[in-house]
Amino acid sequence: DVKVTQSSRYLVKRTGEKVFLECVQDMDHENMFWYRQDPGLGLRLIYFSYDVKMKEKGDIPEGYSVSREKKERFSLILESASTNQTSMYLCASSMTSGAPGTQYFGPGTRLTVL
Amino acid sequence: KQEVTQIPAALSVPEGENLVLNCSFTDSAIYNLQWFRQDPGKGLTSLLLIQSSQREQTSGRLNASLDKSSGRSTLYIAASQPGDSATYLCAVVGGATNKLIFGTGTLLAVQP
């Protein structure tokens, strides 16, 4: 079974703090993704990565950065957390195949910024 | 720009009923469509993936259909159970990327 894990289920941070959200997958997937999920807005893509050290902006990258130093790990960084970044953050991974394949999601991190 | 819509936003049915959830998308140039389930406060679980060349996929009591030309997909759940209560999301992959574009989901409640 594919397993995608996220470092924290719940996180509370203060405005201005630097926040790291970690995601690890154990199936040697090339592709990894970070989404945020907000009521009424659904899931929105923040950043994604097709390979180690490679990253591309999604639909809402402002205020975020990412790091992918190893294939299995994809980190989301909030350089200076703000209250409007309070949200559920979901990581996902997938294989690169002839056609885009199934995305597997982690359990999510609920981040509250005070 | 691709937009994905799910109707209804919420649905409540008695146990044992068969039900259909709807998903529509504006751009028919998709690679695949995926249905997910999300339990409260949890991540997403993939239910079914339909490639653009396929018309339907089945898994147990679930059947998903795809009509690319009309920009529609349905998720059929047979003999619903209280354990089916969750939010159901559809998402499409369009263009030469692996990016999913999600609908806002249908919240399903199956009453015992």
Express each pLDDT in B38-96 by its tens digit.
999 889 999 999 988 999 999 999 999 999 999 999 999 999 999 999 999 999 987 65
pLDDT, tens digit (0-9, with 9 covering 90-100), for A19-58: 999 999 998 888 999 999 998 888 999 999 988 988 999 9
Q: What is residue B96's predicted lDDT score, i.e. its pLDDT?
A: 56
Beta carbons of B41 and A108 less than 8 Å apart: yes
Distance CA A37, CA B36 (A): 14
Which residues of A have a CB under 8 Å from any CB of B? Answer: 4, 31, 33, 40-45, 48, 50, 58, 90, 92, 94, 96, 99-108, 110
The pLDDT, as a whole number, for residue A65 is 97
Confidence of residue B100 (pLDDT cuts 50, 70, 90): confident
Contact B100 A45 (CB under 8 A): yes
- Amino acid A102: pLDDT: 81
Give B30→chain A minimum CA distance, Å. Answer: 10
B31 vs A100, A102, A103: nearest CB: A100
CA atoms within 13 A on the CB side of B53: 3
Among all chains, which residue has been given the structure tokens 């996180």?
A11
Average pLDDT over residues A8-17: 96
Residue B95 is predicted with a pLDDT of: 61
Whole-number pLDDT of residue A83? 97
> In which band, very low, low, confident or very high, does the pLDDT at A97 lie, cut at 50, 70 and 90?
low
* Burial environment of residue A30 by CB neighbours within 10 A (0 to 12, 13 to 18, 19 or more): middle
Confidence of residue B29 (pLDDT cuts 50, 70, 90): confident
What is the rounded distance in angstroms from the CA atom of residue A92 to the CA atom of residue A35?
8
Contact status of B98 with chain A (Cβ, < 8 Å): yes
Using pLDDT thresholds of 50, 70 and 90, give the confidence band for residue A87.
very high
Rg (CA), chain A: 13
CB-based contact A102 B98, cutoff 8 Å: no
- Average pLDDT (B9-32) is 94
For residue B104, the chain A residues in CB contact (below 8 A) are 40-42
Q: Which residues contact A53 (CB under 8 A, 6 or more apart)?
A: A68, A69
Task: Supply A20's token pair.
Answer: 């790291």
Q: What is the model's pLDDT at position B99?
A: 80
Length of chain A: 114
> Residue B42 is encoded by which pair of tokens?
């949890």
The number of CA neighbours under 13 Å toward the Cβ of B59 is 10
Q: Is B39 on the interface with A (CB under 8 A)?
A: no
